[in-house]
Every structure is written in C-alpha cells, then in structure tokens.
Structure 1
Amino acid sequence: MTKIFGHRGAAGTCPENTMPSFKAAIESGADGIELDVHLSKDGVPVVIHDESVDRTTNGKGFVKDLTFSQLKNLDASYLFPEYSGKAFIPSLEEVLAWSSSSDFLLNIELKNDRIPYQDLEEKVIQQIFTYKLQNRVILSSFNHESLMLCHRISSELETAALLSERLFEPWNYAKTLSARAIHPVHYAADPHVIFHSQANGIQVRPFTVNDEQTMQFLFKAECAGFFTDYPEKALSLKKK
C-alpha cells in the first residue's frame, strides 16, 4: 500500500515545516510527515528547509548564525498571513515529542549537503531514541556520506538516499550505502526503477508529487510511498 507523506507537512495549504502544517497533514489522514533539520548556532536541531531564514520567516541570516532563542521568535507564516503569530520554527524535539503519542511515520531530512553541521547526525539520532521513535523514522539526505555515518551510529534506523537525477541501477547504489530506500525526484521514478528497486528490497518514495496524474501512476505502480505538498488531495485520490 502506497504511503502518503506530507512534504514539510501540508506545505501547499499551510506554512511549511511548522507545527500547524504537520498537524494539518496528519489530520488529513497522511501516513507520515517529512521535515528538514539544520543546527542552530548553539547546536539545537531545528526544523526549517533553507540554510537561511530569509525566505520563510520575517528574519534575516543563516540558521547556523542564529541561536535557537532567536530562531523561535521569528514569524514563519510564509505565504499564509492568516497564520501570523501561530507559525514558528520548531525544534526537532518539539516535533518528536508531539509525534510520540501517535503512530505516523516521520521522514527527517538532514540538511547537511551544503553546510557540514558538526554532530548533526549524533544529535538527531539521540533525540529519536530518547522519544523511542526508531521504528517510525526514516533518515534521508542528499549527503550520502552522512547517511553512511547514520548507519554506523545506529544500523537500526532506516536511511534513504535522496536522488536529484537518474542513476543507473539505483537499487544497487543504495545497497552500497546500506540504505533501505531511495527518494528520487519524481521524474526519475519510472516503472523500471520502481519495480527493480522494490524487487531488490529497496523502497522507492519519490518527491515532490503534486499533480494527480503522477499520483495515480504511483498508486498503480504500487510504489512504496511519495511526498506531496497536498496530502489531502493524495488521500482523496487513494480512496478512489
């Protein structure tokens, strides 16, 4: 059964990577949520997509140059003014604490492909185990060295290689990383890739799938899952 993950929550209808967005995705019936993690200046894992706060908040500067106290006071109601004063940058711990009382899946993307945050992997994994979420979390990254480090820290956790382009036999490449899944850009997930990857024990979950035609194709192909900004739309199609 194809799993539906709310990309940055329900980013099509709520401010991305905020608690209102995550809650909306789960309330819509999504199987899981996807979120992005950086480290603040004082070493706190925080949930935001970009390396800087400029696009999604009323602040300026790089996440790595701002303390968690400074970050959490920013308004993150980007594109959705009705959420002003209600949407903020959460810590990873806040999201995990909220998640721990439910049973949905969490895809945590480590955003360390541009800035090499020191000890990001250790800190994230420690929090996952603190909240006993190791069986419900997938760690993904475009930084595949980071995924190898995650596997060395804990082979119990599922890792997934993010792929921004087509690869030859990506299921074999994933195995060299000890990854259990690939998360390719949606146009690189053709029937051949989906079938052979999953036949070789490698789950396929494309990103970011927002059009109905691609959603229907992935349901028909029995793809393991996909990430969408519109989980409610995906759920409606899935029921049909």
Structure 2
Amino acid sequence: MTATPLILGHRGAMAYAPENTLEAYELGADQGAGGMEIDIHATRDGMIVAIHDDTIDRTSNGTGRVSEHLFDELRRLDFGTGLPGDFAGARIPTLDEIFDLVERRDLVLNIEVKDIYRHDDSYGELARRAADEVLRRGLVEQVFFSSFNHTSMAELKLSHPDVRTGLLHMMSLHEIGNYAATTGADAIHPAHLALTPETMRQARAANLAVNAWTMPAPFSSRSEAEQIDDLIAAGVDSIITNTPDIAVVRRAALAKVEALV
C-alpha cells in the first residue's frame, strides 16, 4: 500500500494567490494542505521576512534588494500587484506572523534558506536566527529547514542539533545515506525528476524522510497531477506543490482506488 503523504503548499497555494504571502498560506490550508514551504530573507534592519527572490522587483510594485530596504518600507508595498482575484494590497509577511499562522492552524512549516550562491555567512546567520525562534516558540516538531546549500544545513545542524534539516537537490545524490550523514540531515528534498526507486531505497535504508517537490514545465513533461501521482506511488513523506488542492484530490483518489483493490 502506498504512503499517505503530507501536502505542503509551495510558497503557499502560489498557483492561485501571491506567493509567500499570508493570503497564499491561508488558501493552501483551506485547500487541505497540512503545511507550507516558505523562503526567507532579512531586511536592512534585520527583520526576517518571507520572499523567494533576493529582490522585490518580480513580486511587488517596488524595486531593489530585500537587504537594502527597511522593513517598514517593504511593508508599504503591494505584493499582490497584477494578480487575478482580490489580492491587491497583500503585504510581505514576517517570520513571526507565519509562526502565528502555523500555531493557529496546526501546520507543518518548511523554511528554505536561499543561500546557494552566497560566499559569506549572512545567510548562515539568518538560518541560525530563524532556528533560535523555532526553539523559543517550541515549534521544533512542526518546523524544518532546507537548502540547496548543503554546507549551510550541516552548519545549522551543528549549531542547532534539535532542528530538522533537509537537503534540496535536482539531480540524484551518490550514496545518499553516507552523504546525508556527513551533514547530519534528517531528510532529502528531491525534485520529481531526481526521485528514482534507488533514491527511495537508499533514503529508507538510511532512515531519511523524503520530501519531494513537483517541477513546472519545461523542466518536466509530466503535468502537475501526474507528478503528484508519481510521488504518491513512490511513497514519499511529503509533496511540495504549487497546487495543494490538486494534491489533496489525487491523494484521496489514489487511496480510494487502493481501498477497492
């Protein structure tokens, strides 16, 4: 029998609402997601906020790097600009506001630290500050961290051994168990295209959680629903998707089919 994976809204229900906003997270939860995947950056005055890019140009009516703006400046901007629906005026959320949502709706939270190309410790410090807040608020069981920068996850695990960490990757990893052990990781986060039967076998042998994510075209020739079906059939622990509603429906449909067999 296949697993019943947790559904995580990628940047919230970003297919339907402005990504990395409270509106997108709330919508994802309303659609049945058990948690959210978010991205974090720090403002010039040190506030931790949720945003994917290190600039605000694509997702707001402002310009410039997140790190160049004070939080109050970012808060006045519209992060729902140009999107369909009633999202005009959506604001950039703080990590504390997201933690409030996690507690109120009993969600799981995956915090991705965007430090793949960084050569200084600013993003390592950001991860440690976020982990401090996770510990302070007693959310260790509901929050985990991930990054494409596996060194940053190893360092976070050393400084905060109680927090859970995962290794994001788009290609297959060699000797997954041994590699993950060098970083202290609790999970791997493979893209759909990197998830093979051998990946699953090695991860399970190493007692690693598998939190996989779907990929948009042109990176995948499979539709979102087809990728979700693949991941459910593979037996992953979590599916990170732009369309939580589709994932919830597909999960229920496959469970119903199995119950009839």
Q: Does the alignment reach a TM-score above 0.5? A: yes
CA distance in 2, matches of 1:215, 1:226: 7
Structure 2 residue identity aligned to 1:17: N
Name which one, 1 or 2, has greater alpha-carbon Rg: 2
The answer on whether the counterparts of 2:18 and 2:87 sit within 8 Å (CA) in structure 1 is no
User: Is there any run of 5+ residues in structure 1 with no aligned partner, and where?
Assistant: none
1:90 deviates by 0.5
Where do 1:39-50 residues align within 5 Å? 39-50=42-53
Partner of 2:130: 124
Partner of 2:30: 27
Q: Does 1:11 align with 2:24?
A: no
Cα distance change on mapping 1:230 and 1:78 into 2, 3 Å: farther
Q: Of the candidates 214, 226, 229, which is equivalent to residue 242 of structure 2?
A: 229
Structure 2 residue identity aligned to 1:88: R
SS of structure 2 residue aligned to 1:205? strand
1:78 deviates by 4.8
The answer on whether the counterparts of 1:15 and 1:79 sit within 8 Å (CA) in structure 2 is no
1:81 deviates by 4.2
1:95 deviates by 0.5
Where do 1:150-165 residues align within 5 Å? 150-165=156-171
Q: Structure 1, residues 80-110: CA drift from partner, whole Å, max 9, x if none?
A: 2434434111111111122122322100001
The answer on whether the counterparts of 1:184 and 1:207 sit within 8 Å (CA) in structure 2 is yes
1:54 deviates by 0.5
Structure 2 residue identity aligned to 1:52: T
The answer on whether the counterparts of 2:60 and 2:78 sit within 8 Å (CA) in structure 1 is yes
1:214 deviates by 1.7
Cα distance change on mapping 1:32 and 1:84 into 2, 3 Å: closer
Partner of 1:175: 181
Between the two proteins, the alignment pairs up a number of residues equal to: 240
Where do 1:33-182 residues align within 5 Å? 33-115=36-118, 116=120, 117=122, 119-182=125-188
CA distance in 1, matches of 2:103, 2:71: 22
CA distance in 1, matches of 2:84, 2:244: 21
SS of structure 2 residue aligned to 1:5? strand
CA distance in 2, matches of 1:74, 1:81: 17
CA distance in 1, matches of 2:204, 2:52: 28
The answer on whether the counterparts of 1:171 and 1:196 sit within 8 Å (CA) in structure 2 is yes
Q: Structure 1, residues 184-229: CA drift from partner, whole Å, max 9, x if none?
A: 1210011221222123211111223561122112111211112100
Partner of 1:208: 214
CA distance in 2, matches of 1:84, 1:203: 35
TM value normalised by structure 2: 0.87
Structure 2 residue identity aligned to 1:230: T
Partner of 2:230: 217
1:171 deviates by 3.0
SS of structure 2 residue aligned to 1:87? coil
CA distance in 2, matches of 1:231, 1:78: 22
| Most deviating of 186-195 and 161-170 | 161-170
TM value normalised by structure 1: 0.94
Partner of 2:259: none
Cα distance change on mapping 1:155 and 1:99 into 2, 3 Å: same
Structure 2 residue identity aligned to 1:94: E
CA distance in 2, matches of 1:200, 1:46: 34
Partner of 2:205: 199
CA distance in 1, matches of 2:202, 2:157: 23
Structure 1 residue identity aligned to 2:21: T
Q: How big is the alpha-carbon RMSD for the aligned residues of Structure 1 and Structure 2? A: 1.6
User: Is there any run of 5+ residues in structure 2 with no aligned partner, and where?
Assistant: 216-222, 254-261
